[in-house]
Amino acid sequence: MKKILIINGPNLNLLGDREKAFYGDTSLERIKTLCVEECVKNNIELEFFQSNHEGELIEKIHSVQNDFSGIIINPAAYTHTSIALLDALRATSKPKIEVHISNIYAREDYRRKSITSEAVNGVICGFGENGYALAIEAMKKLIYSE
């Protein structure tokens, strides 16, 4: 069975409490449950991870090459600022999908540029928690066509 890693960046642990106009009422725990259910349906094993610390996110990305078939990442605010995450993502040849709950291209000017997207196969944004399910479906196609 293929195994994927879903990484969530800073402040996503506050979902459900912060900026509901952008992120809705969903919690990270609800998203995790949705992802587990979607992975079970698709015969994929899942590890779900969140950190507010850039170095921990980088270490987790480094583990992908040996331990996972692919990675889905919501880099959150690091999307727009972190060359270090970009470099870590570039360092793995495994399939990578970037996901965002809100449509980053309909937000503030500084959120409209994704540095990390330069290292991924594709980006899904603006579909709320359903973006994760879409990313899992897309990842399934990537990892089972290898």
Is residue 23 among the annotated active site residues? yes
Q: Round the CA-based radius of gyration of the chain to a whole number and report it.
A: 14
**CB neighbours of residue 26 within 10 Å:** 17
b/e string for 83-113 if b means 16 or more Cβ within 10 A? Answer: ebbbebbeebebbbbbbbbbebeeeeeebee
The answer to whether residue 53 is catalytic is no
The catalytic residue among 23, 80, 110, 132 is 23
Among 62, 100, 105, 144, the one annotated catalytic:
100
Both tokens of 92, joined, read: 């793995």
Cβ proximity of 117 and 98 under 8 Å: yes
Q: Please give the positions annotated as active site.
A: 23, 100
